[in-house]
Amino acid sequence: MLSLEEAAKDEDIFRADGFIQIPRSDGDPNYGPPNTVIPPKTDPEVNYYHVFGHEEFKYDTWRSSIGEQLAKHFKLPTLSRSNHKWKLYDFPQNYTFTEQRKGLALDPRTDAYVFGCRGHRFRSTKECVEHFAWLIRDPNMNRANCRCKYCYKLPRSSLGGTDDTPKKAAALTKRKGAPWSASAAAGGPSRKKKAANGDEVGITAETSVTVRGVDMRRLVPGVSIASVPQRDQETMHELKRGEKERFRVGELVWCELDEPVVDPTNPKGQITSWPAIILDPAIDLTVTLGIAAEDQNSKTSLEAVSAPTQRADSPPNLGGSRVQHSMSYHVNFYGTLEKAKVPESSLSPYLGGLIPDGLMDSYLGSREDHPWLLEENEFPYHNLTRQPDRPTPDFTKSIVSFGHAIEATAVLRNFYSLTDAYSGSDQPEAVLRDLGASISQGDHQPPPGLRYYQGIYFGLERIWVGDVVRLRLSISDIRKLQRQLNAVLVADKQLNAPDPAAIVLDEDGSFVLQLAAIYEDPCKPQTVRVAGEMFQIMEQSKFNALKLEKEALIKKLEENDVVDAATQQEEIKALQGRLPQPNILSGKPGFPPMPPLPQGFVMISLSDRLKSKVPREIALSVGHVAGRIYPSLGKHSDGPRVAEQIRQKPVDKKVAADEDTQVDLRARLSVAGLLSGCVKAMRTTVHAWSRSASFKSGLTVAKIK
């Protein structure tokens, strides 16, 4: 498949005279308009498809609009080399541009459609552009590569391969003409297993995504369980929209240097930021002194009737003074002996930053230039903060330390350590047992219960119960979750009640989880799971477009007199069930305030869509967590960028499930929570006993490498 740049350079497609000629076609003459016979003029009502000729105005208008959009899609200038606006030369072979005319013959309703693509029709120029762009870019015409709204959502059995050989149908695909129901969507190859408390549905494996009932007896830190002070300090601050999220003790972040360390042989080789460990937060106070203007009208009664005199000078009134506070942090530059106090503005999440390309070919010197590498507990000092009584940093020595810190950070991304254990039991003996204490009760000692934790050092970040975290869910994970959500719908259905509409999840969506529990089963060590309420983050305009589209389809169904009433209502219900509803985010007792999203984005609860009398939550293995969410990195104008980046996701499913992108924009959107957590995530797989052990292990392993 050609890249956008390669296709844009093909002058046989994007001609110098401004015409865009699509070189191939997937058009099928059997998929033309169903009825093109013009009814007699005596008929009071009509319902037929008018086929436009080349000379008709609307035919020309659509070609111009599609041409301009294709040029924009391929990032071409507005005008061609001959200074003409771009225009589609003609629709692909076997494609037909039509207009449906329906209703009163004197004033029929008109809707434009493009027929030709197998199994569907295009309703607008915007819908055509994505499909035509695929025809331009893909010489093999593998429809699985098409990102138009129809091909991208089709079952793989209808996509086929390059020779139109049907592939194996994917699970949860809807047969044409069959209403999507919760029972159909709940079906799948998962092996059913009932948990001891009967609260989990369709467990396929201990590491899978599961839907379970909320244990109402489980205690949450901040409600019945005393929250540790550090958790309250680091989570209970309510952020305003756009306000920067605060960093936490023990996290590793990027710290921007006041002055970059520059390679003397290559001006592009600059160390502008350094990995730093948060040691302690601080608050800087700035007092701006101001003298309040004295009110000239406030005079005593004696002064009002006396001759003017010079009043004695009084001390200045400091009522106009202002006190401003700003966050700062004490940090340790990772892999060095240097510590500093830096402003919050110089820090940024590590996953949101990348290593500059200009440093890749830097001269590293000899081993004798870096004696600390040969010693186990020796680390360098480079004066990165530019103290006046010390020499300026040497680039050759600094670049090796920088590489060592980067390598150690990569190792640290794999570690996690649990903190602040607590028990959900109200019996002292059970609490001790759940926390790992040995109680001598002979052979009759009952097994310990689930062990809960208030916090976890997760890779480079510090996460607490109540935090909203990004999730990395592969397409397979999303389909499993979709099956289980629909299984819950079916299980909660009243006897003889109609089958509820299915819940359909967006496989390209960004999902987050508000942590209600971090727990492990002592009988199954190192099987750490998290649970809580799951949300999907969606662009507001995308939500509005989906809503309008569904309302239009519902209106068409209501106007359809051919379908019987029962089938019509079932189809309408299915359409309504596909559209999630945004919910008003409110804090729960014991939970921190919800993070405010950038303007133009909404957060939709999956639990609300269940409408179940029994509260439900989603449980996942800790490996499905991508990291903290930083909405302040998002912008109100990121909607089109998110849509574009979704289209550019890797085709390979394994790569897409754990991309670890090196593109600035994709990384920023993912860390902000606007793009899937699979794009940029922690890779925690190794349990460490403590945070200090994780830091030490990272530095030691990096030295060995």
Same domain assignment for residues 605 and 530:
yes
> Running DSSP on this structure, what letter comes out for residue 188?
S
CA distance 270 to 204: 49
* Residue of 35 and 171 predicted with greater confidence: 35
Rounded to a whole number of angstroms, the CA Rg of the chain reads 32
Q: Mean pLDDT, to the nearest integer, of 158-175?
A: 36
Per-residue confidence (pLDDT) for residue 295, from 0 to 100: 47
Same domain assignment for residues 331 and 373:
yes
> Running DSSP on this structure, what letter comes out for residue 598?
P
Report which residue type is found at 377. N
Same domain assignment for residues 277 and 384:
yes
379-407 tens-digit pLDDT: 999 999 999 999 999 999 999 999 999 99
Per-residue confidence (pLDDT) for residue 591, from 0 to 100: 82
The answer to whether 359 and 271 are in contact (CB under 8 A) is yes
Structure tokens at 583: 């919910």
**Whether pLDDT at 492 is above 90:** no
* Residue of 213 and 565 predicted with greater confidence: 213
User: Which stretches within 560-676 are classed as H helix?
Assistant: 565-578, 606-610, 639-647, 653-657, 664-671
Structure tokens at 439: 């109680």
Residue where a domain terminates, one of 170, 185, 214 = 170
Q: Please report which confidence band the pLDDT of residue 567 belongs to, taking 50, 70 and 90 as the band edges.
A: low
92-112 tens-digit pLDDT: 999 999 999 998 888 889 999
**Whether pLDDT at 201 is above 60:** no
- Cα–Cα nearest to 629, from 580, 685, 682: 682
CA distance 574 to 563: 15
Overall number of domains in the chain: 3
Residue 399: which residues within 8 A CB-CB, separation 6 or more? 261, 263, 269, 271, 359, 362, 364
CA distances for 195 relative to 189, 205, 206, 507, angstroms: 18, 12, 11, 28
Per-residue confidence (pLDDT) for residue 358, from 0 to 100: 83
Per-residue confidence (pLDDT) for residue 399, from 0 to 100: 94
Would you say residue 687 lies in a domain?
A: no
* Residue of 294 and 177 predicted with greater confidence: 294
Least confident of 27-41, 133-147, 602-616: 602-616
Report which residue type is found at 530. V
- Range(s) of the domain holding residue 114: 4-170
The percentage of the chain sitting over the pLDDT mark of 90, rounded to a whole number, equals: 40
What are residue 511's DSSP bridge partners? Answer: 536
Per-residue confidence (pLDDT) for residue 171, from 0 to 100: 38
CA distance 444 to 650: 55
Site of tokens 């003017």: 308
For residue 36, the Cα-to-chain-centroid distance in whole angstroms is 46
User: Which stretches within 591-651 are classed as H helix?
Assistant: 606-610, 639-647
Same domain assignment for residues 421 and 380:
no
Q: Mean pLDDT, to the nearest integer, of 581-598?
A: 72
Q: Mean pLDDT, to the nearest integer, of 61-69?
A: 94
CA distance 125 to 114: 9
Q: Please report which confidence band the pLDDT of residue 428 belongs to, taking 50, 70 and 90 as the band edges.
A: low
- Cα–Cα nearest to 215, from 199, 227, 201, 195: 199
Same domain assignment for residues 491 and 444:
yes
CA distance 409 to 347: 16
Would you say residue 575 lies in a domain?
A: yes
CA distance 583 to 606: 10
Global pTM reads 0.66
Same domain assignment for residues 165 and 221:
no
**Whether pLDDT at 183 is above 90:** no
**Whether pLDDT at 257 is above 90:** yes
Would you say residue 255 lies in a domain?
A: yes
CATH number, domain containing residue 349: 2.30.30
Per-residue confidence (pLDDT) for residue 19, from 0 to 100: 94
Measured over the CA atoms of residue 149, residue 152, residue 154 and residue 158, the dihedral's sign is positive
* Residue of 570 and 145 predicted with greater confidence: 145
Per-residue confidence (pLDDT) for residue 306, from 0 to 100: 43
Residue 208: which residues within 8 A CB-CB, separation 6 or more? 477, 480, 621
Per-residue confidence (pLDDT) for residue 75, from 0 to 100: 92
140 HSE (CA, 13 A, CB side): 11
Would you say residue 481 lies in a domain?
A: yes
Least confident of 177-181, 329-333, 554-558: 177-181
Number of continuous H segments (helices) and E segments (strands) in the chain: 17, 22
- The pLDDT mean for the chain works out to 81
Same domain assignment for residues 542 and 612:
yes
Q: Mean pLDDT, to the nearest integer, of 264-279?
A: 93
- Cα–Cα nearest to 676, from 684, 686, 685, 667: 667
Within 10 Å of residue 639's Cβ, how many Cβ atoms? 20
Per-residue confidence (pLDDT) for residue 168, from 0 to 100: 36
**Whether pLDDT at 683 is above 60:** yes
**Whether pLDDT at 440 is above 70:** no
Q: Helix, strand, or coil here: 287? A: strand
Same domain assignment for residues 389 and 473:
no
Same domain assignment for residues 154 and 52:
yes
Same domain assignment for residues 554 and 599:
yes
Angle, helices 639-647 vs 540-559, to 10°: value is: 80
Q: Please report which confidence band the pLDDT of residue 234 belongs to, taking 50, 70 and 90 as the band edges.
A: very high
Residue where a domain terminates, one of 602, 629, 656 = 629
Would you say residue 670 lies in a domain?
A: no
Site of tokens 């799971």: 529
* Residue of 362 and 224 predicted with greater confidence: 362
* Residue of 541 and 515 predicted with greater confidence: 515
Would you say residue 301 lies in a domain?
A: no
DSSP secondary structure, 528-567, as one string: EEEEEEEEEEEEHHHHHHHHHHHHHHHHHHHH-SSS-HHH
Per-residue confidence (pLDDT) for residue 410, from 0 to 100: 93
Least confident of 268-282, 417-431, 596-610, 636-650: 417-431
148 HSE (CA, 13 A, CB side): 22
Q: Please report which confidence band the pLDDT of residue 124 belongs to, taking 50, 70 and 90 as the band edges.
A: very high
Per-residue confidence (pLDDT) for residue 654, from 0 to 100: 85
DSSP secondary structure, 393-453, as one string: PPHHHHHHHHHHHHHHHHHHTTEEEEEEEE-S-SSHHHHHHHTT-----GGGPPPP-PEEE
Per-residue confidence (pLDDT) for residue 205, from 0 to 100: 40
Would you say residue 327 lies in a domain?
A: yes
Least confident of 64-78, 176-190, 255-269, 317-331: 176-190
Report which residue type is found at 627. G
**Whether pLDDT at 155 is above 60:** no
Residue where a domain terminates, one of 629, 662, 693 = 629
Q: Mean pLDDT, to the nearest integer, of 473-494?
A: 85
**Whether pLDDT at 35 is above 90:** no
DSSP secondary structure, 194-207, as one string: --TTS-EES---TT
Measured over the CA atoms of residue 420, residue 422, residue 428 and residue 433, the dihedral's sign is negative
The answer to whether 639 and 539 are in contact (CB under 8 A) is yes
Would you say residue 659 lies in a domain?
A: no
Per-residue confidence (pLDDT) for residue 494, from 0 to 100: 66
> Running DSSP on this structure, what letter comes out for residue 303?
H
Same domain assignment for residues 345 and 449:
no
CA distance 126 to 643: 14
- Cα–Cα nearest to 672, from 643, 624, 638, 648: 638
Site of tokens 């990772």: 334
Same domain assignment for residues 383 and 428:
no
Q: Mean pLDDT, to the nearest integer, of 281-292?
A: 73
The percentage of the chain sitting over the pLDDT mark of 70, rounded to a whole number, equals: 78
**Whether pLDDT at 296 is above 60:** no
> Running DSSP on this structure, what letter comes out for residue 122?
B
DSSP secondary structure, 166-194, as one string: PPPPPTTPPPTTSPPBHHHHH-SSPPP--
CA distance 400 to 682: 24
CA distance 59 to 130: 19
619-634 tens-digit pLDDT: 999 999 999 999 999 9
Per-residue confidence (pLDDT) for residue 169, from 0 to 100: 34
**Whether pLDDT at 55 is above 70:** yes
